[in-house]
Structure 1
Amino acid sequence: MVDTSIHSVPLGKILFDTFGGFPRALPLDRASKGQILDFQDVIVPIASPVYGDSDDLSWLEDGDLVMGYVSGEKAFAYPINVLNLHEIVNDEIDGVPLLVTYCPLCFSGVVYHRELDGRLLTFGNTSALYQSDLVMYDHQTGSYWFQVAGEAVVGTLTGSRLKLLPSTTMFWGEWKRLYPETRLLTGTAQSPRAFDGGRYRRGFPGNFQDQINKGRFIFPVDEEKLDDRLDKGEIVLTVEVGDAATAFPLGIIGDGAVNHQVGGQPVVVFARAGSRAVGAFSPVVDGRRLTFDYREDTESFFDRETGTRWDEAGRGVSGSLAGAQLPRLDTRRAFWFSIAIALPKVEVYLP
């Protein structure tokens, strides 16, 4: 049970979704212990995930979005339509305890390392929102976590932050092209094909981003926390190096290679508007810093120093650096309003 005597945000700002009950939003400081427990995992998190082949979900189309995670030579895809209904995946891949998270209300896809100070944490769903973003809880202490920030905001772990890991989001067709041997989240150990049902065909409304831009949030957001440097619903990729963070607005970048610095370190962002593909990498290979351009005629990325052609996954495809892999950087992807609230000191890249 969460210890509500310790918190870094007002308890009244954490609102339980009563899923059609009255009131629709119940503040944490007005909820009984019984209600808090009843709300836990109404949105069922995924434990013991099972992965199948790329054709194992009959409804998944090339134009559907997936979150992607890469471990060495292995690639794993998490369909957004599945995450819409589950939001949390507890997993372990190649010895790394992963927490794959997604909140449909702020389009926030983030992957974390779920070990904190040597302690393995398992996460569930509180059914609550803070600033219209998912609030998770950990089974070990009951602490509440602000998803997009990866920060505990209520309970004994208040102030703790989970380690961010690299991830990406793009259309399924593009992910398959980049990673033809990808594994695909299809179910759980109890039901390996659980996610092949018809209810997973449904995505989010197509005009949802426009509603966010107009300030029509599903749950309350503090106006004073909003940041007008970008539209509220602008999708941004936030690249983090140490304590520094820079948000790259995808609608402004379009197709392009952005050579930039974050926290004094060189970074490059590869973006393709048509496939929604975007990734952030260190542009240093064998101690040599590279500079990149996107060429529309070939729809590819090239470095100026060697002329090597690179794909959206940061891999050298042809040229003297063919076979090289640019190191992936830690990222969060979400609507701008939620990034600005989670990371108030974030810088914004504008060309």
Structure 2
Amino acid sequence: MPRFQFRHAVLPALAAIAALLSLTAPAAPAAAQNSERYVAQRFGQAWPETDFSRSAIDLREIMFGGPPKDGIPAIDDPAFVPVAGAGFLADREPVIALEIDGAAKAYPLQVLMWHEIANDSLAGVPVTVTYCPLCNAAIAFDRRLPGPGGTRVLDFGVSGLLRHSDMVMYDRQTESWWQQFLGEAIVGELTGARLDMLPVRIESFARFRERFPDGLVMRPPEGSGRAYGRNPYAGYDSRAEPYFPYGYYEDPVPPLARVVAVGNQAWPLARLQAEGRIEAGELVLSWEPGQASALDAGLVAEGQDVGNVVVQRRQADGSLADAVHDVTFAFAFRSFRPDGILHAE
């Protein structure tokens, strides 16, 4: 059994072990949280190219998630098929739908949950499309990073590390670490840099096909040995708590309740589902049924109906344009937006 599949087969046990290892790791007082000795003991061997002299976080917040660096392999040269040729997808299955200048691609979660990152391009724009199953965060980035020396085009891998139960990515150019939820470099040469997030929709394959009949769909990589279509996190979104530690939480909705997060604001999915449409200033949020949860049943296509969310922003001329948002778990929103507003009522 490939070690990544094995990791998922014993995920709860690995989570408990990882938490124990973090608790029993070499103690470091606050003043020495990022000391050379502490870094060397915990990360030095796997990350010799990372500049640990630059960091925006307390490194004690970093946990080992089970797989090593690149143990979850990012997709660097994704292959696509027309929507008519995507017979491996059921109508209800969720995809990350990205559209730029009229060109559209769908990135199925049944594939991304096994790879978490796809480095790609669309309409001439270098993009990175990401999915962290542990916090249900599906986010796409423009991977161009302007700087004084010119614009760099970065590509990303999966570090195998977690912070607040969210994937830590790394760029292969500098081996800086990036928080997936924020698109921000948190450790290394590029600390403080931010990637531009791109508006996407997490929608059913049927809705993508209807919106973009000429669109393309990322197909599963050949020869990977992974069980695409099966959910290695079966039952996760029905748990009371995430597998891994995630910090302080006291919001009125359960930690693993889905919320629609837009910047520093979020609305429980259950509220949007009940109301169908919510208008908040320039924002318009809507919900319709027909999308399976990727993190519920053993087969993705059989997951409970969590519906399709559209978030748009009203423009000056009155038209609506898709807005950057994420349908994520409540604990993730609170972990990374501690001062954010959760509109529970």
Superposition TM-score, scaled by structure 1 size = 0.73
SS in 2 for 1:201: coil
In 2, the alpha carbon distance for the partners of 1:123 and 1:345 equals: 29
Task: Give the equivalent residue in structure 1 for 2:331.
Answer: 337
* SS of match in other structure, 2:325: strand
CA displacement at 1:326 relative to structure 2: 2.5
Aligned pairs for 1:62-101 (under 5 A) are: 62-101=91-130
Question: Equivalent residues in 2 for 1:96-175 (5 A)?
Answer: 96-117=125-146, 118-175=151-208
Identity %: 30
2:283 pairs with 267, 281, 287, which one? Answer: 267
Distance of 1:11 and 1:339 partners within structure 2? 20
Cα distance in 2, alignment partners of residues 50 and 347 from structure 1: 39
2-structure distance, mates of 1:204, 1:173: 23
Q: Which runs of 5+ in 1 are unaligned?
A: 20-38, 188-192, 290-324
Higher percent of residues as helix? 2
Q: Could you tell me which amino acid in structure 2 is paired with residue 218 of structure 1?
A: Y
Shift of 1:206: 4.7
Match of 1:234 among 240, 246, 257: 257
Q: Confirm or deny: 8 A CA contact 1:57 1:196 kept in the other structure.
A: no
**1:220 maps to 2:220:** no
What do you get for the CA RMSD once the two structures are aligned?
2.1
Map Cα deviations across residues 274-307 of structure 1 (whole Å, 9 max, x no partner): 43211211223xx444xxxxxxxxxxxxxxxxxx
Deviation per residue, 1:75-116 (Å, 9 max, x gap): 211110100111001111112121111011111101111122
**Aligned 8 A contact 1:227 1:337 in 2:** no
Q: Is the 8 A contact 1:232 1:336 kept in 2?
A: yes
Q: Counterpart of 1:306?
A: none
Q: Write the distance in 2 (CA, Å) between the matches of 1:235 and 1:85.
A: 21
* Equivalent residues of 1:239, 1:331 under 8 A apart: yes
Whole-angstrom distance in 2 between the partners of 1:128 and 1:196: 22
Provide the C-alpha distance between the structure 2 equivalents of 1:168 and 1:91, rounded to a whole number of angstroms: 17
How much does 1:205 deviate?
A: 4.3
Q: 1:40 to 1:337 in 2, by over 3 A?
A: same
Equivalent-residue separation in structure 2 for 1:96 and 1:175 (angstroms): 20
Instruction: Measure how far apart 1:54 and its partner are.
Output: 1.7
Give the alignment of 1:160-309 within 5 angstroms: 160-186=193-219, 194=222, 199-211=227-239, 214-215=240-241, 217-222=242-247, 224=248, 226-240=249-263, 245-254=264-273, 256-261=276-281, 266-275=282-291, 276-284=307-315, 287-289=316-318
Matches of 1:57 and 1:195, distance apart in 2:
18
Is residue 18 from structure 1 mapped to residue 66 from structure 2 by the alignment? Answer: yes
CA contact (8 A) 1:82 1:195 kept: no
Q: Tell me how far 1:136 sits from its aligned partner.
A: 0.5
AA aligned opposite 1:186: R
Unpaired stretches in structure 2, ≥5 consecutive residues: 1-48, 292-306
TM-score, structure 2 length as denominator?
A: 0.74
